[in-house]
Amino acid sequence: MELFFLSLLCLFLLFLLLPLSLHFLFYKSNSENLTPPPGSTGWPLIGETFEFLATGWRGHPEKFVFDRISKYSSYVFKTNLLGSPTVVFAGAAGNKFLFSNENRLVQAWWPSSVDKVFPSSTQTSSKQESIILRKMLPNFLKP
């Protein structure tokens, strides 16, 4: 009797695991062909947050971005800020991509560490924030 249940269990596992293993063996996902952007995520948990904050405290926050653009020879790079993996788009093409695909391909979000410090930031949607930002932006760009 025990041999019967053992053989049933083996057959069940065979019929369950064989299709799954064949699927993972022969199926290639589209994500395998994609390469991540160049960059470093820095130390675990803190990433490159201290370097980012240090350049901001010195009065040149853009230096963080410009240093990585020259280091990786790319306007797109990955980093780790505020405990979250982040991809930075710099340059005109990156800005055009982000603003033309707002809330379709990309979505604005706050890292969980910021949500813990400023819980009211979760009450407004990214669409409301972008409307406010677009109203304020022309004032900063005036000569």
Domain boundaries, the chain: 35-106, 110-138
**Within its chain, how far is the Cα of 63 from the centroid?**
21
Alpha helices in the chain (DSSP H): 2-26, 49-57, 62-72, 91-100, 112-117, 126-141
Determine the pLDDT at residue 19.
Answer: 77
pLDDT (0 to 100) of residue 63: 92
User: The pTM is what?
Assistant: 0.57
C-alpha 69, offset from chain centre: 18
Q: What is the pLDDT of residue 11?
A: 79
pLDDT in tens, the chain (143 residues): 778 878 888 877 777 777 777 777 777 665 566 788 888 888 877 888 899 889 989 988 889 999 999 999 889 999 998 888 888 888 888 888 887 877 677 777 777 777 777 766 455 666 677 777 777 777 777 76
Q: Who contacts 51 (Cβ-Cβ below 8 Å, separation ≥6)?
A: 42, 64
Please give the single-letter amino acid code of residue 56.
G
- The pair of structure tokens assigned to 13 is 């596992």
